[in-house]
């Protein structure tokens, strides 16, 4: 995939090779100037609801029962393909959105031939701005990783952690084990990256209380709230973990102490995981948690007036539909009553799953039919949660076409000075270029 710098040309041309055939897309260049023309942009908050497409946006609006915070911010759509496939994974999608370069699925911060490419976060750091990454996955997972590391495989999370520490000012998420040595149950051979960070001036926080106790003046913070990924929003109340909104607000408080500005990426990581699991309730509740984080970003941007907020999913997950199962119907409202993920409900069942009806009704409010109970009781080990999710989705008329990703375009939302740059049909490689243009930094 050839990468085109700048927007001076009358048209943009992107090419992709699939199965030996070269496909070329031409589109008119988007606007190259801020709509207002004179507004100063010091900060960018890039928010990524992983796996979120138009179907998620529509179902979430029905789930909420009114217009969402995102709806009035819609400015365009984004193409998501990777260098080697029409259907991207998060590593390749994130690399394009962070660096402006297409790469192969599974690769982080490098081109298909392995060349390291600079991210928009690194460019902001070079310009003297503070930087932050927030996620509900491990902070070393594919999407946050692409902004601050460069590895051949997204699975190299211990190596990603080594590249992140002391390079990013604020890191909030899960993945504590990737920062600890093997002697302490971690995945580093010898290094204790948490200890090293503390020695280098980072405040270390491990739970919600620690986060809330910060005084707002810390310039560097490492917050690792779980050994692995953080909990789904549906299960968070059973933990001592902060919400995505709380992490976002705290990150902004810290980063905004830099008079030169900041770049912050916030990922709603588990919308994607819910899509893989066909767990419609998990998807909607994590979409709600993401919207609350967006509200924190918008509140700051509205007050600051020098902050650009950009929101875009990296791809669609699950091929979610609005309505399905040969019915002209949607009943997404019932998902408001679901209080646990399908996997959690599966974990509460006895050996023969004789309590399936009781467990599902307790956590969803749904009264299962005999046929539905039978499906749960006869599901193979490892598929009980998915079976519960499928039944709940059928009741809500939320369809799914795959347990993987799809290649559909995804919505783009923007607010603040420079938001006009993101108008129309964009490619994922356009995102960092436009952010750099808005901040007037070298990239």
Nearest Cα residue to 166 out of 99, 223, 222, 226: 222
210 is in an annotated binding site: no
Catalytic residue check, 156: no
How much is the average pLDDT of 278-290? Answer: 98
Nearest 5 degrees, angle CA 430-CA 432-CA 435? 105
Q: Using pLDDT thresholds of 50, 70 and 90, give the confidence band for residue 399.
A: very high
Could you tell me the pLDDT band of residue 15, with boundaries at 50, 70 and 90?
very low
User: For position 41, what pLDDT does the model report?
Assistant: 95
Residue with tokens 């799953």: 353
The pLDDT value given to residue 327: 84
Q: Which of 82, 90, 197, 249 is catalytic?
A: 90
Query: Where are the chain's structural domains?
Result: 40-320+403-439, 332-396
Of the candidates 46, 30, 130, 41, the residue with the CA atom closest to the CA atom of residue 416: 41
Reply yes or no on domain 40-320+403-439 having CATH 3.40.720.10.
yes
Looking at the predicted structure, is the pLDDT value of residue 13 above 50? no
Q: Annotated binding residue at 315?
A: yes
Residue 34 has pLDDT above 80, yes or no: no
Per-residue pLDDT reduced to its tens digit, 63-89: 999 999 999 999 999 999 999 999 999
> What would the pLDDT profile of 103-161 be if each residue is shown by its tens digit?
999 999 999 999 999 999 999 999 999 999 999 999 999 999 999 999 999 999 999 99
Q: Is the pLDDT of residue 27 over 90?
A: no
pLDDT at res. 216: 80
Find out whether 264 and 131 touch, Cβ atoms under 8 Å: yes
Q: Is 423 annotated for ligand binding?
A: no
**Is residue 285 marked as binding?**
no
| Residue 85 CB contacts under 8 Å (≥ 6 apart), including other chains | 18, 92, 104, 105
What is the pLDDT confidence band of residue 35, given thresholds at 50, 70 and 90?
Answer: very low
Annotation-wise, does 50 bind a ligand? yes
296 is in an annotated binding site: no
Instruction: Name the pTM for this structure.
Output: 0.91
Dihedral class, residue 128 (left if φ above 0, else alpha if ψ from -120 to 50, else beta): left
């Amino acid at each position: 995939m050839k990468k085109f710098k700048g927007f001076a040309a009358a048209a943009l041309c992107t090419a992709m090779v699939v199965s030996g055939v070269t496909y070329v897309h031409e589109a008119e260049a988007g606007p190259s100037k801020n709509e207002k023309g004179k507004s100063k942009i010091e900060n960018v908050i890039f928010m990524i609801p992983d796996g979120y497409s138009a179907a998620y946006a529509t179902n979430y609006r029905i789930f909420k029962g009114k217009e969402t915070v995102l709806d009035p911010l819609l400015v365009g759509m984004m193409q998501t393909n990777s260098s080697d496939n029409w259907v991207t994974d998060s590593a390749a999608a994130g690399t394009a959105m962070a660096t402006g370069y297409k790469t192969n699925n599974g690769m982080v911060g490098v081109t298909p031939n392995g060349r390291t490419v600079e991210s928009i976060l690194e460019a902001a750091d070079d310009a003297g701005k503070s930087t932050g990454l927030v996620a509900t996955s491990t902070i070393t997972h594919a999407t946050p990783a692409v902004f601050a590391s460069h590895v051949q495989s997204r699975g190299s999370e211990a190596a990603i952690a080594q590249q992140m520490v002391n390079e990013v000012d604020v890191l909030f998420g899960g993945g504590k084990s990737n920062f600890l040595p093997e002697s302490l149950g971690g995945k580093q051979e010898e290094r204790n990256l948490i200890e090293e960070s503390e020695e280098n001036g980072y405040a270390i926080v491990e739970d919600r209380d620690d986060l809330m106790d910060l005084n707002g003046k810390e310039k560097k913070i490492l917050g690792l709230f779980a050994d692995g990924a953080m909990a789904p929003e549906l299960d968070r109340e059973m933990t001592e973990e902060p919400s995505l909104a709380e992490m976002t607000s705290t990150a902004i408080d810290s980063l905004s102490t830099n008079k030169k500005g900041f770049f912050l990426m916030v990922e709603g990581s588990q919308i994607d995981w819910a899509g893989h699991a066909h767990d419609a309730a998990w998807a909607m509740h994590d979409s709600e948690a993401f919207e609350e984080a967006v509200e924190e970003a918008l509140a700051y941007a509205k007050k600051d007036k020098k902050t650009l907020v950009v929101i875009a999913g990296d791809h669609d997950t699950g091929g979610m539909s609005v309505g399905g199962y040969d019915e002209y119907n949607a009943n997404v409202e019932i998902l408001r009553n679901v209080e646990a993920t399908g996997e959690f409900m599966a974990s509460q069942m006895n050996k023969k799953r004789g309590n399936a009806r009781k467990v599902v009704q307790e956590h969803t409010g749904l009264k299962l039919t005999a046929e539905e109970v039978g499906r749960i009781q006869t599901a193979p080990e490892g598929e009980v949660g998915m079976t519960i999710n499928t039944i709940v989705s059928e009741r809500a008329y939320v369809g799914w076409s795959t347990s993987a990703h799809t290649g559909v375009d995804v919505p783009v939302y923007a607010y603040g000075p420079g938001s006009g740059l993101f108008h129309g049909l964009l490619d994922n490689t356009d995102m960092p270029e436009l952010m750099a243009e808005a901040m007037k930094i070298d990239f």
